[in-house]
Amino acid sequence: MVLFFFRHPFQSVIPRQPPTATTPSLKVKEKQLLLFMLPTEEPYHYLQKKVGAIIEELTNELNDNVAEFKRLSKETYDVEEKIHLSRGSYVRVNREIEAEIKKQQEVERVLEYFDSEIEKIREAIHSQKTEGSEAIHYGAVGDIDGLINEFNSLVCTLDIGVPNSINILLNENMNLINYAEALIHKASSKRALSQKSH
């Protein structure tokens, strides 16, 4: 078996001599060397300043994060408001569209009814005889219409609110005139349809 002997790092090559009063012992030198090798501690006020700087940095970062959160929250709120307004506008426009569709359907039903009535009138006109005494004289329609307008203007100048024989007669005539106007409009419609058919 081989034995290895290691020299202490502080052991001198020169043979060890007993310590004297002028030569410090090896333990004292080792202590001095260890104290020299130990890291020096920072002063308390320097450490306190360093911790304060770290806290300030973290506080600034926190404030930045809070500001960013507020900005994003406001943007999110604005987007939600726009969505709510858009939804309200969509509902309102959708209701208006539904109402317009209902009106259009009603108009289409009325037009279909009038188309069927016009077709009936057209067939009736074609089936009527247009010769001899039974011929339809559309030229008199304009003359009757003019006479009715003149009569209406004359009636407007009279006080028909007073009950007397003249006013009663005028009221009866007005009823007859209204009936005649209805017949005139009907005849005019027939005339227009007959002209279109030819």
- Kindly report, residue by residue over 107-146, the tens digit of the pLDDT: 778 778 877 777 777 777 667 655 444 555 545 445 666 6
At residue 86, the pLDDT reads 87
Phi/psi at 165 (nearest 5 deg)? -65, -35
State the pTM of this model. 0.31
Intra-chain end-to-end CA distance of the chain, in Å: 142
At residue 104, the pLDDT reads 80
87-106 pLDDT, tens digit per residue, is 888 888 888 888 888 888 88
pLDDT at 62 over 90: yes
At residue 109, the pLDDT reads 82
1-30 pLDDT, tens digit per residue, is 444 444 544 444 445 555 554 445 556 566
Structural contact between residues 170 and 160, judged by C-beta atoms closer than 8 angstroms:
yes
Structural contact between residues 148 and 180, judged by C-beta atoms closer than 8 angstroms:
yes
Half-sphere exposure (CA, 13 Å, Cβ side) for 185? 6
At residue 73, the pLDDT reads 92
At residue 47, the pLDDT reads 61
Spell out the alpha helix ranges (H) of the chain.
Answer: 26-37, 44-127, 140-156, 165-197
137-188 pLDDT, tens digit per residue, is 545 445 666 666 666 666 666 665 555 566 666 677 777 777 777 877 777 7
